[in-house]
Structure formats: C-alpha cells, structure tokens
Amino acid sequence: MSDLLRQQFVLGYTYTRSTGPVVGRFLTELRQRKIVGTRGDDGRVFVPPMEFDPVTASALDEFVEVSDRGEVVSWCWISEPRDSHPFDEPFAWALVLLDGADVPMVHAVAAPEAEMHTGMRVQARWSEEPRGYITDIACFEPEVTQGEG
C-alpha cells in the first residue's frame, strides 16, 4: 500500500482594526491612566464602555470617568500560569466592579491566594509607560488605603 501523505501548513493574513469613537476613547484615556465607561439609557455605567446600549441599541456617547479602585465580585485562581498569562507567579482572574461602574470587568489580580475573596478591595497597578492597551492596567492588587502607608 502506498503512503497516505499528510502535511501541515500555516494560514495567516494581516488585518487592521479601527476602534471607533467609544472603544477608541477608552483606550486613549488609559494612556492618561484614566478609566472611562459609557452611561446606558437606563443609567447604568458600562466599563469597559459599550458602543451601543444592549437593551435599546442606541449609540452611547455619554462618557463617565470611574475610579481605578473597586471590588472583586468573582474570581478564579490560576495556580499554574502558562506562557501567555500576564504573570509567572500564581494569580487570579477576577471580575472587578470599579467604583462608579455598574458592571464588572475582567482583569488579573496579583495577590496571595489566602487574601483572595469575594468583596475584597483592589486598586489598579498601572504600567510604567501606558500606550493605549488594556495591559496599561498591569493588574489589580489589594487596595492600600491612606494611613496604611
């Protein structure tokens, strides 16, 4: 019987993305170490911002700056980080509800596993040179309040 041949091949193309006025503004504000959301028709503040209201479909253009501090509403511990993860050390993926926002956003929390809990207060650790990427927020870490030093 003859060999049945098989061969791997790679398929890839180059693309461009236009972020538009809403996601674009969110990313641009990150460069100033600011986090903005949009206000939905029912008054809720979406962070990251949504371009269109998920209920009414109207274009959302009222930007609201929110805090870079907030609360963990849910989390999952990554005990063995992989190469594509943001840290070599174990960390948590968490839904963080920023102060002033009405929906949580996903981000990484760098904290000891023993400290992780739903309801824990966290604050953003900004990257040294923000450039308009979501990774300008390097991660969230346990909040340090005034007086704690």
Binding site for other proteins (CB under 8 A): 5, 7-9, 11, 13-24, 50-59
Q: What is the largest CA-CA distance in the chain?
A: 80
CB of 14 or CB of 79, closer to other proteins: 14
**Minimum gap (Å) between residue 23 Cβ and other proteins:** 6
**Minimum distance of other proteins from residue 103's CB (angstroms):** 13
- Whether the upstream peptide bond of residue 21 has omega within 30° of 0, thus cis, is no
Between 45 and 109, name the residue whose CB sits nearer to other proteins: 45
Q: Find out whether 50 and 41 touch, Cβ atoms under 8 Å.
A: no
Shorter beta-carbon distance to other proteins: residue 51 or 143: 51
Q: Toward other proteins, which CB reaches closer, 38 or 123?
A: 38
Cβ at position 65, least distance to other proteins in Å? 21
Q: How far is the CB of 149 from other proteins (least distance, A)?
A: 44
CB of 49 to other proteins, least distance (A): 12
Q: For other proteins, which is the closer residue by CB, 36 or 122?
A: 36
